[in-house]
Amino acid sequence: MALVVQAYTFMYQYANSWRPSPKKQSDALKMGVLSAAQINPAAAFHPAETHPGVIPYAIASRDESTAQSTAKKYGFKKHYGSYEALLADPEVDFVYISTPNGLHYEWASKAIKAGKHVLLEKPFTSNGAEAEAIVQEAEQAGKILMEAFHWQFHPAAHLWRSILESGQYGQIISTDAKMTASPGVPHGDIRWQFDLAGGSIMDATYALSFTRYALRAALPQKILSAVARPYDKDPRVDAAMNATMLFNTQQGQSVHSRVYTDIARSWIGGVVPRIWELPQIEVETEKAVILFYNAMMPHLYHYIAITDKSTGKTEYKKLYSGGPIWGDVETSGGKGGKSFWSTYRYQLEAFVSKLQGKEPACWVTGEESINQMKTIDQIYEAAGMTVRPGKV
């Protein structure tokens, strides 16, 4: 279940923050952070501490006292009481943006105009039109922009996809991805706000990402069905979404895919939260059923279960460093990375490599992010709901 996994990640990152920090390189990049969001320590602060090429330089919050206390706690050199002030600082090389969804485009655009590279939290933008616009703005400005789909940078994700593409288990027939929150997202949280691009398929965008990553898919061939359970306090917002789609693989095969997201998952008997429902995707191939359990935060715990259809036997695999992509890469932590690195730390490794003019081990392209947001738009439309409002 997503919120429990996130909480464990915060504790995991805190524990690893006690490891000795490496000496910073003389040409280390100065990181700025827009917002004091709860995800920041796990997603940006602690990964930056362990990267010799990154200095936690400045943080901005709309409440200056919050920015000041956060800067003191996490060792930032500067703090600002406005996002504009941070973007005006010429020392900042790149910014990590973790504002509410509906503000992603606005502040990414302003950061690019201020000459900063951008690591932008997911979901990338409020809708597909904003995604296309911000990618174009970054390209025209010559700035690097990437959506922070951190799970895709972990060795376990690469192992999983290499298994799917090995040919050993035949072609993919169907996929079934799930991401739920039980206990649910509290009432009043920004994820329930329509004007801030809230909603289940937005917040749990990982489930769709698992699907498209497995298939190397662009846009769906067709949305077969999309049924939403509206939020009881605002029917424009989806508390849950159940969508089925047809995707084409790169080999031209049609694959039936189901995506289920729920940010207010019911408790069993009204008393037992479903905390064991970690984000996952099951892929059926001609010869096997392959489950990637806890695909969102595999650094905490995960397994890839491969069940042979003919024998019923299940084989389990796990991977925390090295692997098909990182295995031969000399990282800032040694060849193949470190087994204690989180998904966010692997992500930062790739992002910094790109900023340093190197070829990153893996990347989330602008086209992939555009297609992700356009698919979400299509799901909302098929469900009879309004696409999240945007600035373009």
Domain ranges of the chain: 2-149, 152-342+364-382
Q: Cα–Cα distance between 192 and 186 in angstroms, integer?
A: 9
pLDDT digits (tens, 9 = 90+) for 324-363: 999 999 999 999 999 999 999 999 999 999 999 999 999 9
**Residue 315: predicted pLDDT:** 98
Residue 154, both tokens? 């972990």
Q: Cα–Cα distance between 62 and 182 in angstroms, integer?
A: 31
Please report the DSSP string for 319-366 in residue order. -SS-HHHHTT-EETTEET--TT--HHHHHHHHHHHHHTTS--SS---H
Sequence-separated (6 or more) residues with CB below 8 Å from residue 33: 40, 44, 45, 56, 58, 59, 60, 76, 95, 96, 98
Residue in 116, 122, 338, 374 annotated catalytic: 122
**Residue 1: predicted pLDDT:** 44
The pTM score is 0.94
Strands (E) across 94-220 are located at: 94-97, 117-120, 145-147, 172-180
**Residue 271: predicted pLDDT:** 74
Q: Cα–Cα distance between 78 and 209 in angstroms, integer?
A: 35
pLDDT digits (tens, 9 = 90+) for 265-305: 988 887 788 888 899 999 999 999 999 999 999 999 999 99
**Residue 12: predicted pLDDT:** 56
Q: Cα–Cα distance between 270 and 294 in angstroms, integer?
A: 24
Residue 344, both tokens? 């966010």
Residue identified by tokens 């990153």 is 360
- Pairing verdict, β 117-120 and 94-97: parallel
**Regions of the chain with pLDDT less than 70:** 1-20
Tell me the residue type at 216. R
**Residue 150: predicted pLDDT:** 98
Sequence-separated (6 or more) residues with CB below 8 Å from residue 386: 194, 236, 380
**Residue 7: predicted pLDDT:** 55
Same fold, 2-149 and 152-342+364-382: no
Phi, psi of 346, rounded to the nearest 5 degrees: -65, -40
Query: Does 122 participate in catalysis according to the annotation?
Result: yes
**Residue 182: predicted pLDDT:** 87
Q: What is the CATH number of domain 152-342+364-382?
A: 3.30.360.10
Q: Cα–Cα distance between 105 and 315 in angstroms, integer?
A: 43
Q: Is 348 exposed, middle or buried (0-12, 13-18, 19+ CB in 10 A)?
A: buried
Q: What is the CATH number of domain 2-149?
A: 3.40.50.720
- The answer to whether 275 and 252 are in contact (CB under 8 A) is no
**Residue 18: predicted pLDDT:** 57
**Residue 5: predicted pLDDT:** 46
Q: Cα–Cα distance between 166 and 175 in angstroms, integer?
A: 17
